[in-house]
């Protein structure tokens, strides 16, 4: 009896998963834009369905909502009955989606993947082999390669001979930890002029957080937001982040960022700041000092003083400026020169790539 293969045309099975998957991708984007508001996201999705016919008689929007509940992506809000909210499962998926969208699909790496140029006495094995040196531990000796060297050097006849010159060891390299503070401007200008700047900033923050969690779990990433004041937020809070009716208190943001980094015992420390405007606010004992008209010298000087203080602490600040006004760029140049950091005048589209490349570049060196 002949043995072989029989080929036929592949006919994909029809299932509701196709309808769910299409709607789910849109829903996850919309729920990020609406800052976690499930009702608003579903309302927008219904409008898209009317316009583009995303559902049919076999799989409707009601089926999709039920599937979201069954699969654990949304749940009833215990505080407000009748309201829907996204679950922790959805929050994690939003971060992963942001990572894939902005940084591409990255494989999980080993812990502490921050190389320095010092080899031989590090804390993580490499693929490189070298000759044995006094002080190497027995655990570092690569026995297979060493025995092979002994056979090649001394032959197979007679008594087996293994000398120090035959030994090879697996080289090691130091891994450094990096502490990063990501500052996000949530002043009112982040949604002015019909441009949504806060959603790309949120996606970048979520992608960076997921990158650190997956590839560099020994690193520290703190996220703070600043408007009239500055405060720290958790990664799980990012999907719900909204712009407020705030001015831009860059001083408060930098003070909080530096306080957080002082507590970290890592060699590499850095601040990433995403903003679209100038500093316009200070907090004083009697209240808030505000001036949105032009560059206020009082506010600017205090901001520059903090840039210099960060430089003395060896904390570089990288500013991602989402604005093209020449006078704002001039302020950023002055701020960057004072700190001896870096600045990018970025469009929203290229923001994630710039932050990713800068993060990779900085973790390769001692800042």
Does residue 55 lie within any of the structural domains?
Answer: yes
Pick from 2-6, 224-228, 267-271: least confident: 2-6
3-state secondary structure (DSSP) of residue 126? strand
> pLDDT tens across 208-223, in order?
888 888 878 888 999 9
Beta-carbon contacts of residue 130 (< 8 Å; ≥ 6 apart): 120, 168, 169, 171
> pLDDT tens across 146-201, in order?
888 888 888 777 777 888 888 888 766 445 688 999 999 999 988 876 778 888 88
**CA dihedral defined by 227, 201, 85, 91, rounded to 10 degrees?**
-130
pLDDT at 313: 93
Same domain, 138 and 53: no
pLDDT at 16: 47
pLDDT at 103: 64
Same domain, 193 and 151: no
- CATH number of the domain bearing residue 348: 3.40.50.410
Stated as kind and residue range, the H or E segment containing 335 is helix 326-339
Q: Which domain holds residue 57?
A: 20-86
Does residue 274 lie within any of the structural domains?
Answer: yes
Same domain, 190 and 319: yes
Distance CA 232, CA 117 (A): 34
Same domain, 62 and 196: no
Same domain, 355 and 249: yes
Beta-carbon contacts of residue 24 (< 8 Å; ≥ 6 apart): 64, 68, 73
For residues 361-366, give the mean pLDDT: 60
Task: Retrieve residue 175's tokens.
Answer: 């891994």
Same domain, 264 and 169: no
Same domain, 43 and 154: no
Does residue 197 lie within any of the structural domains?
Answer: yes
Sign of torsion over alpha carbons 135, 140, 141, 142: negative
pLDDT at 363: 63
Which pLDDT band holds residue 325 (cuts at 50, 70, 90)?
Answer: confident
CA distances from 319 to 47, 85, 153, 259, 332 (A): 38, 34, 58, 18, 8
Domain count, the chain: 3
Same domain, 81 and 163: no
For residues 205-210, give the mean pLDDT: 86
> pLDDT tens across 40-85, in order?
999 999 999 999 999 998 999 999 999 999 999 999 877 777 789 9
Distance CA 172, CA 181 (A): 29
pLDDT at 118: 35
Same domain, 255 and 338: yes
Same domain, 167 and 184: no
Beta-carbon contacts of residue 43 (< 8 Å; ≥ 6 apart): none
Same domain, 217 and 310: yes
pTM score, two decimals? Answer: 0.70
Q: Which of 35, 68, 86 marks a domain boundary? A: 86
3-state secondary structure (DSSP) of residue 303? helix
Q: Which of 86, 115, 142 marks a domain boundary? A: 86
Q: Which of 111, 138, 173 marks a domain boundary? A: 173
pLDDT at 298: 95
Stated as kind and residue range, the H or E segment containing 272 is strand 268-275
Same domain, 71 and 163: no
pLDDT at 350: 67
Tell me whether residue 243 is exposed, middle or buried, using C-beta atoms within 10 angstroms of its C-beta: 0 to 12, 13 to 18, 19 or more. Answer: buried
Which pLDDT band holds residue 367 (cuts at 50, 70, 90)?
Answer: very low
Can you give the length of the chain in residues? Answer: 367
3-state secondary structure (DSSP) of residue 279? coil
Does residue 13 lie within any of the structural domains?
Answer: no
3-state secondary structure (DSSP) of residue 340? coil
Does residue 165 lie within any of the structural domains?
Answer: yes
Does residue 97 lie within any of the structural domains?
Answer: no
Does residue 99 lie within any of the structural domains?
Answer: no
Q: If you compute the radius of gyration of the chain from its CA atoms, what whole number of angstroms results?
A: 27
User: Do residues 27 and 45 touch, judged by C-beta distance below 8 A?
Assistant: yes
> pLDDT tens across 88-133, in order?
999 989 888 888 876 664 433 333 443 333 333 444 555 567 787 7
Does residue 236 lie within any of the structural domains?
Answer: yes
């Amino acid at each position: 009896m002949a043995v072989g293969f029989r080929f036929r045309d592949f006919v994909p099975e029809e299932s509701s998963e196709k309808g769910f998957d299409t709607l789910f991708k849109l829903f996850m984007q919309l729920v990020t834009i609406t800052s976690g508001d499930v009702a608003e996201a579903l309302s927008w999705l219904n409008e898209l369905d009317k316009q583009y016919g995303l559902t049919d008689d076999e799989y409707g929007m009601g089926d999709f909502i039920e599937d979201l509940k069954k699969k654990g992506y949304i749940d009833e809000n215990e505080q407000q009955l009748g309201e829907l909210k996204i679950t922790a499962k959805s929050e994690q998926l939003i971060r992963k989606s942001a990572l894939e969208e902005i940084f591409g699909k990255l494989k999980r790496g080993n812990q502490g993947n921050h190389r320095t140029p010092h080899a031989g006495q590090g804390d993580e094995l490499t693929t490189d082999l070298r000759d044995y040196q006094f002080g190497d531990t027995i655990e570092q000796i690569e026995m297979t390669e060493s025995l092979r060297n002994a056979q090649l050097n001394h032959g197979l006849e007679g008594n087996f001979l293994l000398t120090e010159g035959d030994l090879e060891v697996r080289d090691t390299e130091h891994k450094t930890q990096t502490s990063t503070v990501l500052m996000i401007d949530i002043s009112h200008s982040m949604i002015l002029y019909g441009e949504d700047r806060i959603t790309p900033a949120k996606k970048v923050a979520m992608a960076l957080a997921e990158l650190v969690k997956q590839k560099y779990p020994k690193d520290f990433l703190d996220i703070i937001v600043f408007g009239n004041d500055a405060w720290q937020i958790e990664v799980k809070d990012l999907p719900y982040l909204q712009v407020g009716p705030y001015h831009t208190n860059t001083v408060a943001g930098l003070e909080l960022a530096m306080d957080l980094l002082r507590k970290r015992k890592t060699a590499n420390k850095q601040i990433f700041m995403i903003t679209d405007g100038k500093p316009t606010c200070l907090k004083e004992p009697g209240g808030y000092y505000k001036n949105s008209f032009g560059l206020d010298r009082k506010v600017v000087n205090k901001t520059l003083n903090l840039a210099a203080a960060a430089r003395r602490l060896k904390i570089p600040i990288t500013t991602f400026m989402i604005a093209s006004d020449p006078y704002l760029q001039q302020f950023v140049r002055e701020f960057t020169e004072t700190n001896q950091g870096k600045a990018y005048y970025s469009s929203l589209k290229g923001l994630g790539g710039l932050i990713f490349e800068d993060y990779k570049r900085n973790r390769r060196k001692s800042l």
